[in-house]
Structure 1
């Protein structure tokens, strides 16, 4: 999930992520050895496609250039993954950190000289990257861990150009001393929540609160309301009825809104909540049995001359032992059915295909046709609140 340098996952990924305004160094290309750097300054800068993007120390042609989401995601990735990889492989990792400019950097680079070799890509990055042929196909026969991926994760998106590895479901944060105890997304429409201080939701990733609202409506299976054009207005009306008091552009916005007594309930993301909530007094979170969420597909960038090494790295990310160690540092959902989560996470995150199917992941094959209209409606609601 896209992130800025200040936090796990920035929530300013609107359609400007897809049509990023980020530019290269002015030449229209991205040199293989050039250090990439851009300072991200809050949500507005992220919207403009600015981000922290740089080569690792001592980077060279024998290193695999891996793009990850900036912020705590990158920090925890480095802590949980790099040492594992480098202990077993001769090829080092040149870690790059990026945000909304990731796809644009690939587009701007010569087809045979990409800015990095491997990239993370959540749902809409994966969809739009594939539309522009920015990724190379992955040979499943070279993925020794492919058969251990829960089937659901390979069904929701064709993994030919990217393997599903890591992600997070949405969770409900709530104040302990408020008269609310939400267990499901339908509870955000309850009288108790209506009488509370208010609700906080993600602003930029508008599709997640919409999917949460659709799940709570319970008129169709899962988030089926999102796939009926005639019901989109009903989903938007459901969100308006929640009584939104915080249209958050970041996790920091959500935590601050709780500390300032602006909200009593929030829709947010498990990976930014499970470990971090202990830093705040009087807050808990509940994982709904039926929820929505995001998952990263890891891709090989077009034109890389390290295709084999990139496949090896993605296969490494799919390994059950690797994901189990990664989960010690980062409370994310992982794709291998044999993962061993820390005790404090295992009750919340799916370890079977049946459990994974309780998460409604946005389908960008469908959403792309409605992206502009739904985004505009979401902005209208925010501006009118």
Structure 2
């Protein structure tokens, strides 16, 4: 468990590996573990070596890569897949997924996983770690490991972050009635808000930032702060707790809600495709976020190719390709961003200290009681 301290420059749950490749590689070596087996071997078929120096080292080989459905998968399919296949001669099979990702891994034989690399959210990362669903990443094989922003690293270097997103105000410009600033405006200015309701973490993280009971988001990680979170949520004029993004957009478009709490990159995509009403967006300086970590799945025989692809994705060129097509933050500080990202998304380590990235390992013991209280709160709306 982490220690909870001041909200500036925190190094309690992430950012403990240091910003250099040597620091990452050293810790990885201490942990040991396999790197997913050789490309021609079975599960755990020996350790892998560095990237092969031939012109197309993975010709006639396929890497099954699971990532979030929707825009995220489209970017990988249309922009990243062709570039990687041209470079290596291999095939990148994009497998869109969401809540079923862990279930499919569990259901598959241990030596025949449904994919070789997969994205996870924080909760799935933790559950998969407890269930031995992940192989150890060998950071020695990643020439670009040293570029990863310090505040995006996990305490357990068993996954590789590639991108991150932050939550914003998404609102009907004609109906909101005020200029959004910090999330605390929800308790003082906002009327008819749509808050995330499919799971408790996003709403509770936001409320813990607004509450001043403890520094930053520490209320979430301490039983002494939980009452303050729910008291804060009850101060918000909530019209609905939405279960999916479309529920939120429908509530806003139909006048049930004037604003919602949602992810900036996805909200910007929605604004670009909507003409029924004018969507305004604003990212508070202190906000919530998520990190897209990628894991080597247990039993994969594509360990070498997986490491090569992760290194490819950490390069400034591919991070820029990703960023230009989807307005997320990237882990490589040399990324060239579109103006909308530069203007709205925290991009350097100092700014990232003001983003609440959930650490499920630190909240797991309270999850059941928090979820019960959240469901009770939703029933009151």
The TM tier, using the shorter chain, reads 0.7 to 0.9
Displacement, 1:167? 2.2
Give me the whole-angstrom Cα distance separating, in 1, the residues matched to 2:348 and 2:88: 30
Task: Determine whether 1:265 maps to 2:276.
Answer: no
Q: Which residue of structure 2 aligns with residue 230 of structure 1?
A: 224
Residues 164, 296 of structure 1: 8 Å contact kept: yes
State the alpha-carbon separation in 2 of the partners of residues 246 and 282 from structure 1: 20
Q: Work out whether residues 186 and 237 of structure 2, in 8 Å CA contact, stay in contact via their aligned partners in 1.
A: no
- 2: CA distance, partners of 1:99 / 1:184: 30
1:97 deviates by: 1.7
Q: CA deviation at 1:133?
A: 0.8
* Count, aligned residues: 320
- Superposed CA offset, 1:70-91 (max 9, x none): 2232123212321221121121
Residues 174 and 180, structure 1, Cα contact 8 Å, conserved in 2: no
Q: 2:278 maps to which residue?
A: 282
Quote the RMSD (CA, aligned, Å).
Answer: 1.6
Gaps of 5+ in 1: 1-59
**Aligned-pair distance for 1:235?**
0.4
Counterpart CA distance in 2 for 1:209 and 1:79 is 33
Which of 161, 167, 174 aligns to 2:171? It is: 174
- 1:205-254: per-residue Cα shift (whole Å, max 9, x none)? 32111111111123322211112212212201211221211211111111
1:237, 1:167 → 2: CA distance? 29
Contact kept, 8 Å, 1:121 with 1:299, in 2: the verdict is yes
* Equivalent position of 1:356 in the other structure: 352
TM-score by length of 2: 0.80
* TM-aligned CA deviation for residue 159 of structure 1: 5.0
Residue aligned with 1:345, SS: helix
Which structure 1 residue ranges, 4+ long, deviate > 3 Å from structure 2? none
> Where does residue 129 of structure 2 map in the other structure?
130
Which residue number corresponds to residue 159 of structure 2?
A: 162
Give runs of aligned pairs for residues 193-342 of structure 1, distance below 5 A: 193=190, 196=191, 198-278=192-272, 279-280=274-275, 281-342=277-338
Larger Rg: 2
Secondary structure of 1:181's aligned partner: coil
CA contact (8 A) 2:76 2:94 kept: no
Q: Is 1:101 paired with 2:95?
A: no
Distance 2:222 2:155 in 1: 22
Separation of aligned partners in 2, 1:349 and 1:316: 23
Whether contact under 8 Å (1:173, 1:283) holds in the other structure is yes
> CA separation in 2, counterparts of 1:249 and 1:317?
32
Any conservation in 2 of the 1:339–1:351 contact (CA below 8 Å)? no
CA contact (8 A) 1:133 1:302 kept: yes
8 Å CA contact 1:300, 1:310 repeated in 2: yes
> CA shift at 1:129, angstroms?
0.6
CA distance in 1, matches of 2:240, 2:76: 30
Deviating more after overlay: 110-119 vs 69-78: 69-78
Residue by residue, what CA displacement relative to the aligned partner does 1:12-59 show, whole Å, maximum 9, x if unpaired?
A: xxxxxxxxxxxxxxxxxxxxxxxxxxxxxxxxxxxxxxxxxxxxxxxx
In the alignment, is the contact (CA less than 8 A) between 2:193 and 2:239 conserved in 1? yes
Unaligned runs of 5+ in 2: 1-58
**TM-score normalised according to structure 1 size:** 0.80
